[in-house]
Amino acid sequence: MEKTRLALVQMRSELGALDKNLKKIGEYIARAGARGVDIICFPEMCLQGYSRDRARLTAVEAPGEITGRIGEAARKEGVTVLVGLAEASGSQKPYITQLVLFPDGSVQKYRKTHLGRSEEAFFTAGDELPVFSTGKARFGIEICWDMHFPEVSAILSLKGAEIIFSPHASPVIVGDRRGIWMKYMAARAYDNSVYVAACNLVGGNGAGQQFCGGALVIDPRGNPVAESFGRGEGMLVADLDPDLINTIRMKKSKSMRDSFYLDCRRPELYGPLVEGRHTS
C-alpha cells in the first residue's frame, strides 16, 4: 500500500431528486480533487435517496447515462469515486449498488450481499465480494448491514484488501452512531489488519425519514484516526499511513502485536461456520 488520501462524504439525499443529488455529488468530487484526494466514498443509495419501497421507481442502469456524468467528474478530477445507488436488476427488485468509477474511465461495482430483513422484499442481493485497486491501494466495500458479518471482512482481507469502505444509510432512530460503529468496526479493522472507512447519509430525505450522519476512519489496530459526527453535511479527509499496514502484511515486525492474524487460521476447524449450523 502507498500513502492514500481518502474523502468520506455525509450528505443529504432528497428522495427521487436525481439531478439535485447528482449536482451535489459533482461538487464534492471537485472539492476532493482540489485537495488531492485519491478515493472519495459517498453514502449508500445517495444518488436517488434511500427508500425501500420506492427504490425501483428511480433505479438506473449502471453504468449508464446518469452514472456516466459521475464518471466524467472522476476523470476530470483524477479521483476514484465510490457512489451509492439503486441499480436496475431486470426485475421489480433493484440492487443496492456501490459503483466504483476510476479516473481512467473504467467502471466496476459492488452489490450489497447481505440485505437487512426489512430490505429483502424490495431488493435483490448481490453474490460477489470483489476487491478493487487504484494502484496505490487495494480495497473492498461492505454496504451498511454487510459490516455485521465478520466473514465478509475476512474474505476481503484475504483477497488483498487494505481498506474496507462502508457506506451507510442509517436512520436517526438507531441511536448513537459513533458508539454503535466502534463496537464492531474496530473489531473488523483489528482482526483483519485493514483500514475501515465509513460514511452515512444525513438529514431528511424529503419523505419523512431522517438519517444521523457520521464519517469515521479506523486503522488496522482498531484505533479511530479521523472522524466527524456532526448533523450537517460535510466531507472528512484523511491520510492513511501505509507503514502500519505494510509492516503487518509484509511481516516486517518481530512483535506479535503486528501479526497478520488471518495467516494463523485453521480452516479445517471451521466447518460449522461454512455450513451455517447453529448449536446451543
Q: What average pLDDT is seen over the chain? A: 94
Q: In this structure, is residue 233 part of a structural domain?
A: yes
Confidence class for position 57, pLDDT limits 50, 70, 90: very high
Strands (DSSP E) found in 18-177 = 39-41, 80-87, 95-101, 107-111, 132-133, 138-141, 163-168
pLDDT band at 274 (very low <50, low <70, confident <90, very high): confident
Is 176 contained in some domain? yes
C-alpha distance across the termini of the chain, in Å = 42
Residue 15, amino acid: L
Q: How confident is the model at residue 200 (pLDDT cuts 50, 70, 90)?
A: very high
Least confident of 72-76, 223-227, 275-279: 275-279
- Least confident among 23-27, 87-91, 158-162, 276-280: 276-280
How many CB atoms are closer than 10 A to CB 123?
24
Q: How far is CA 257 from CA 158, 184, 211, 219, 252, in A?
A: 19, 20, 37, 14, 12
Q: Please tell me the pTM assigned to this model.
A: 0.95
Specify the pairing of strand 39-41 against strand 80-87.
parallel
The answer to whether residue 77 is domain-embedded is yes
**How much is the pLDDT for 173?**
80
Q: Confidence band (pLDDT; 50, 70, 90) for 277?
A: low
Q: What is the model's pLDDT at position 222?
A: 95
Domain count, the chain: 1
In this structure, is residue 250 part of a structural domain? no
Q: What is the CATH number of the domain that holds 143?
A: 3.60.110.10
pLDDT of residue 272: 85
Contact of 99 with 74, CB cutoff 8 Å: no
Task: Give CA–CA dist 89/163, Å, rounded.
Answer: 28
Residue 261 in any domain: the answer is no
The model's confidence at residue 254, banded by pLDDT at 50, 70 and 90, is low
Check residue 174 and give its pLDDT: 74
Residues, the chain:
280
Residue 257 domain flag? no
What does the pLDDT look like over 149-182, one tens digit per residue?
999 999 999 999 999 999 999 999 877 889 999 9
**With contact defined as beta carbons under 8 Å apart, do 47 and 25 qualify?**
yes
- Which pLDDT value is given to residue 271? 87
The residue segments making up the domain with residue 153 are 4-243
Residue 67 lies in a domain: yes
Q: Which three cell numbers stand for residue 49?
A: 435517496
Mean pLDDT of 125-135: 97
Q: Where are the alpha helices (DSSP H) in the chain?
A: 18-34, 55-58, 65-77, 150-158, 177-192, 242-249, 271-275
Does 99 reside within a domain? Answer: yes
Q: What is the pLDDT of residues 74-88, one digit of tens each?
A: 999 999 999 999 999
User: Which residues make Cβ contacts (< 8 Å) with residue 82, sequence separation at least 6?
Assistant: 39, 40, 41, 42, 98, 99, 100, 141, 165, 167
pLDDT at 255: 67
Residue 33 · residue 76 · CB < 8 Å: yes
